[in-house]
Amino acid sequence: APVVRVHRDNASDTSVGTVDTQGPTVALCVVDDDGTPVGHGLVEKVAGQRGVACRAGCFCNPGACGHFVGFTPDDLRRFNAELHHSCSD
């Protein structure tokens, strides 16, 4: 099973794009065996341990983050209010 979901505006587009159309940034979500998103803190930690620099989390646009990982507005409210989680943890 795929371990990464690349976020794109057109979900039917399976290409990541080119530097001309996408630029150097790829928005993605690392998932475990059953497709559950892995928290950005763990992704950033493991990437750093392996010498890969990344910008992790959804602090720039939590609404878009929630949308891409399939959360409803109620899910986001529950994570923030009850569980004290950010949208990507």
User: Which pair of tokens denotes residue 29?
Assistant: 């979500």
Nearest alpha-carbon partner for 70 in 31, 16, 23: 31
The answer to whether 16 and 6 are in contact (CB under 8 A) is: yes
Query: Given 29, 54, 60, 87, which residue is catalytic?
Result: 60
60 is catalytic: yes
Residues known to be catalytic: 60
